[in-house]
Structure 1
Amino acid sequence: MIKSISENEYKELADAAEGQTLDAVLCYSIPEKVPADFSFEDRKEIFLWVLTRLLNDGRIKLAKHSKFLEGSVEEQVERFRKALPKTEVEMDDGLWFFDDRCPGGAVWILPNGSLNWT
């Protein structure tokens, strides 16, 4: 199972996804060289790794109903791990990220320090 991507892939993903909703982060959560057996479970693991990294790097905060999520990065990511659908079909073309079942959305912290709520 693939659980992360390279440093270069992460930087490209973070830059491409900046300002977008978390469904874009999931969409971009694939390695540059996709193995034949790449699964939705692999994509979710990369997404969770990227989410952790974005939070730890100070690129995003997570929020729900205009309130920042509480807890450590690990606790916030664990909420996503538990809540993420088991199959790609259940993601409903990314609409899951806009449903109440989703623990939160991305608030991007821009280089000038301003916040971009998605």
Structure 2
Amino acid sequence: MTLGRDAYTSIIDHLKSQFFATDELWAVTAYANDYSIMGDYTSYQNRINLFSSVLEEILRREEARIAKKGQFLSGSPEEQANQFRNAFPTTLEEMNEKDAYWWYLDECPGGLVWYTDIDDNGFETSPTGDGRFYLWT
């Protein structure tokens, strides 16, 4: 799936403000007009594909990284997005049962860690030796 540059920017800006909350993502049909997204995102598989596409773009733009248990994931943005695509529960019903805690299960590849330039003395950010700080969500 390829979205226009403006659509990605709008989605990423909104998700950054929501810390990439699951409910916000799954409610994408409510935001479809705001994001100028064309297509039918009512199917669960289409929403997984949208999630993966947006996640890949976030990683490509170096807006965030993915981490699990304090360790950053390796691989290209496409490879990391595919890890999510393949890890999601296979049905919407199964996802609905787990959606409040899926991000914390071992089957979830990780969570987003947003880049920030703010050093707040380690309260929410931590240096990793690359001169940047991260907001661990």
TM-score (norm 2): 0.70
Q: Percent identity?
A: 31
Shift of 1:49: 0.5
**Residues of 2 paired with 1:116 and 1:109: CA distance?**
6
Supply the distance in 2 between the matched residues of 1:25 and 1:37 (Cα, whole angstroms): 13
- Give the distance between the partners of 2:8 and 2:57, measured in 1 at CA: 9
Q: Is the 8 A contact 1:80 1:103 kept in 2?
A: yes
CA contact (8 A) 1:29 1:47 kept: no
Give 1 or 2 for the bigger CA radius of gyration: 2
What residue number does 1:67 align with?
71
Q: Which has the higher contact order (CA 8 A, sep 6+)?
A: 1
Q: Which residue of 2 aligns with 1:23?
A: 22
Alpha-carbon distance in structure 1 between the residues aligned to 2:77 and 2:40:
32
| 1:86 matched to 2:90 | yes
Indicate how the Cα distance of structure 1 residues 36 and 55 shifts in structure 2: closer, same or farther if over 3 A, else same.
closer
Alignment of 1:1-118 (within 5 A): 3-18=1-16, 20-21=19-20, 23=22, 26-27=25-26, 29-30=28-29, 31-32=32-33, 38-91=42-95, 92-110=98-116, 113-118=132-137
Cα offset for 1:11? 1.3
**Is the Cα contact below 8 Å between 1:60 and 1:106 reproduced in 2?**
yes
Gaps of 5+ in 2: 119-131
Q: Which amino acid aligns with 1:103?
A: P
**Residue segments in structure 1 that go unaligned for 5+ positions in a row:** none
CA drift at 1:111: 5.5
Quickly say closer, same or farther: Cα 1:13–1:64, change in 2 above 3 A: same
Q: Write the distance in 2 (CA, Å) between the matches of 1:57 and 1:115.
A: 15
What TM-score does the superposition give when structure 1 sets the normalisation length? 0.79
Is the alpha carbon distance of 1:41 and 1:115 closer, same or farther for their aligned partners in structure 2, counting shifts above 3 Å? Answer: same
Instruction: Report the Cα offset of residue 50 of structure 1.
Output: 0.3
CA deviations over 1:59-114 (Å, ceiling 9, x no partner): 01000001101122222122112111122222223421221110110001136543
| Aligned-partner SS, 2:59 | helix
3-state SS of paired residue (2:106): coil
Report the count of equivalent residues.
Answer: 116
